[in-house]
Structure 1
Amino acid sequence: MDRAPRPAPLLEVDVDLGFALFFLFLLCFFLLVTVVRCAQTVADPYGSFSTSTYQEEQIT
């Protein structure tokens, strides 16, 4: 007698593919953050420095 094939579980996940996709998304997130930070630095290169470094010291 032939048995009917069992239906596949709804949440069948390949663990290796899950790890690969997770690290791919993590890499893309860090790349996006880096691009935004670099664009901010190019737009305003001296904005992150404090103004006290550009003041001349008084020599007495």
Structure 2
Amino acid sequence: MAKDQKAKGKKEQAKGKAKEAAGRAVGNESMTAKGKGEQAKGDARQAKEKAKDVFKH
């Protein structure tokens, strides 16, 4: 289960980076902001899973 969540976090981060880059390329501030939000969501998911790993060991 934890690996699924970590993978989901990585996917969200990558998707967010792509969306942010696309938003910047076309000058769409809304898309850029959404991309940053997705990256933050992925970062938070990754941090949560890493914290779980620390407490398991």
- TM-score, structure 2 normalization: 0.52
Q: Larger C-alpha radius of gyration, 1 or 2?
A: 1
Superposed CA RMSD = 1.1
Equivalent AA in structure 2 for residue 29 of structure 1: D
* Alignment partner, residue 16 of structure 1: 30
Give the structure, 1 or 2, with the largest relative contact order (CA under 8 Å, sep 6 or more).
Answer: 2
Alignment size in residue pairs:
33
Q: Which runs of 5+ in 1 are unaligned?
A: 1-10, 44-60
Give the C-alpha shift of residue 12 in structure 1. Answer: 3.8
Moved segments of 4+, more than 4 Å:
none
Sequence identity percentage: 0
CA deviations over 1:15-35 (Å, ceiling 9, x no partner): 110010000000101111101
| Structure (1/2) with the larger helix percentage | 2
